[in-house]
Amino acid sequence: CNNLKFILDHWENLHDIFKTHFDQKELCNYLNYWLHEKIVGHPFRKNISKLLLTAWDFMKPNNSNGVTCLPKSYHVSEKQFKKKKKLYDFLGYYKSISNILKTGQTLNVEQYCDYIKNNFGLYYVMENEDKCSNSSVYKDELASFKNLFSNELDTLKSKCPGKYLELFFEKEKT
- The whole-angstrom separation of Cα 150 and Cα 120 is 12
User: Distance between the two ends of the chain, CA-based, in angstroms?
Assistant: 49
Asked if 51 and 94 sit in the same domain, the reply is: no
Same domain, 83 and 54: no
Q: Are 117 and 160 in the same domain?
A: yes
- CA neighbours within 13 Å on the CB side: how many for 49? 23
Q: How far is CA 17 from the centre of its chain?
A: 21
Q: How many domains does the chain have?
A: 2
Residue 67 domain flag: no
CB neighbour list of residue 152: distance below 8 Å, 6 or more residues apart:
98
* 101 — pLDDT class (breaks 50, 70, 90): very high
Q: What is the pLDDT of residue 31?
A: 84
pLDDT band, very low/low/confident/very high, at 86 (cuts 50, 70, 90): very high
Whole-angstrom distance, CA of residue 134 vs CA of residue 127: 10
> Residues 117, 89: one domain?
yes
Average pLDDT over residues 58-77: 71
So what's the pLDDT on residue 24?
A: 76
The residue among 127 and 10 whose pLDDT is bigger is: 127
CA–CA gap between residue 82 and residue 36 (Å, rounded): 10
Claim to verify: residue 98 and residue 131 sit in the same structural domain: yes
- Answer yes or no: pTM beyond 0.85: no
Kindly tell me the number of DSSP H helices and DSSP E strands found in the chain.
9, 0
Domain that holds residue 54: 2-59
Q: How many CB atoms lie within 10 A of CB 66?
A: 8
What confidence tens digit (pLDDT) does each residue in 34-55 have?
A: 888 888 888 888 888 888 888 7
The DSSP line for 104-139 is: T--S-HHHHHHHHHHHHHHHHHHHHHHHHTT--TTH
